[in-house]
């Protein structure tokens, strides 16, 4: 339950750029949940903007770690002979024999 003393202590530490996890871990281990602090912040029970949080209230998207696949020439840029598949090396064949 949010008491005035708890509210004042949490608000002070948030102002010092502590995260809710740090506040709970150092000041109230086992007595308070960091999720409660986040809920109180998002519900506006503190007189603080979301910018006191480290991520400033932004949703984090997972970053794309794969690179672009840029090898090869697009089909539209290949020579006309390749489309005819007359010469060796321009064929595409399934060489796997199933048993």
Where are the chain's structural domains? 4-52
Structure tokens at 60: 């984090």
Residue 63 CB neighbour total at 10 angstroms: 5
* Closest alpha carbon to 1 in 32, 35, 44: 32
Average of per-residue pLDDT across 19-31: 87
- Average pLDDT estimate for 67-91: 71
* Contact in structure between 10 and 23 (CB atoms under 8 Å): yes
Residue 75's SS3 state is: helix
Closest to 20 in 3D by CA, of 63, 86, 42, 72:
42
Predicted pLDDT at 89: 65
- CA separation for the pair 80, 74 (Å, rounded): 13
Q: Phi then psi for 88, rounded to 5 degrees?
A: -65, 135
**Its pTM surpasses 0.85:** no
| Closest CA relative to residue 78, chosen from 90, 64, 66 | 90
pLDDT higher at 8 or 69: 8
């Amino acid at each position: 339950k949010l008491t005035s003393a708890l509210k004042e202590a949490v608000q002070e530490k948030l102002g010092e750029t502590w995260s809710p996890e740090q506040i709970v871990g150092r000041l109230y281990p086992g007595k308070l949940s960091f999720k409660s602090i986040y809920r109180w912040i998002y519900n506006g029970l503190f007189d603080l903007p979301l910018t006191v949080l480290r991520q400033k209230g932004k949703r984090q998207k997972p970053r794309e770690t794969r690179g672009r696949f840029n090898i090869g020439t697009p089909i539209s840029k290949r020579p006309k002979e390749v489309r005819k598949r007359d010469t060796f090396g321009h064929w595409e064949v399934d060489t796997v024999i199933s048993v």
